[in-house]
Amino acid sequence: MSGYPSTVTQFWATEVSEKAPREYEPDADGDLSLQLTGVAFASADAKKGEAYVVSMAADDGEPFTLCILRAGVCDQVCVDVMVGAGNEKVTFFVKGGSAKVHITGYEVLEDNGDDDLDDDDDFDEDDDDDDDD
């Protein structure tokens, strides 16, 4: 083992609509974060010219705009946003129409090697109940 942290990634996606916002809860330990990479219409249902404001809010705070999609003009957008340590949850919203929107990216798991099997919280040899006094 080299002692360097290793990184594992996996695809992540969610579908959001005006009627169905979605939540993401980052890892409380800070080892798991979410890298957002794309926002796009889920289908061709959006009416041409309709504007869809896609936004996110961290920890029930003020929402901030990720992008604005406009059917037939801007159907998808590349983004570069990292969500994770320090946030209890992130909520994604869409305003402006009835079409669904996909938000995609990948989860990043940092293995910092700080998982110690001898940690008292995980295993304690003194807790054996072998005494039958």
> What pLDDT, on the 0 to 100 scale, is given for residue 16?
97
CA 74 vs. chain centroid, Å, equals 23
Average pLDDT score over the chain: 83
Instruction: Label residue 95 by pLDDT band (50, 70, 90).
Output: very high
Is the pLDDT at 121 greater than 70, yes or no? no
**Cβ–Cβ < 8 Å for 90, 83:** yes
Bigger pLDDT: 59 or 77?
77
Whether 16 contacts 24, CB under 8 Å: no
At 57, list the tokens.
């809010």
> CA angle, 44 as apex, 74 and 23 as ends, to 5°?
75
**Residues 96 and 52 sit within 8 Å (Cβ to Cβ):** yes
Q: Which of 35, 36, 30 is nearest to 112 (CA)?
A: 30
| pLDDT at residue number 116 | 45
Flag whether pLDDT at 108 surpasses 70. Answer: yes
Q: What is the pLDDT of residues 25-53, one digit of tens each?
A: 887 777 788 999 999 999 998 998 899 99
Strand (E) or helix (H) holding 69: strand 64-70
For position 14, what pLDDT does the model report? 97
Question: For residue 51, what pLDDT is reported?
Answer: 95
> What residues does 38 pair with on adjacent strands?
78, 104
Structure tokens at 98: 């009835």
pTM over 0.85: no
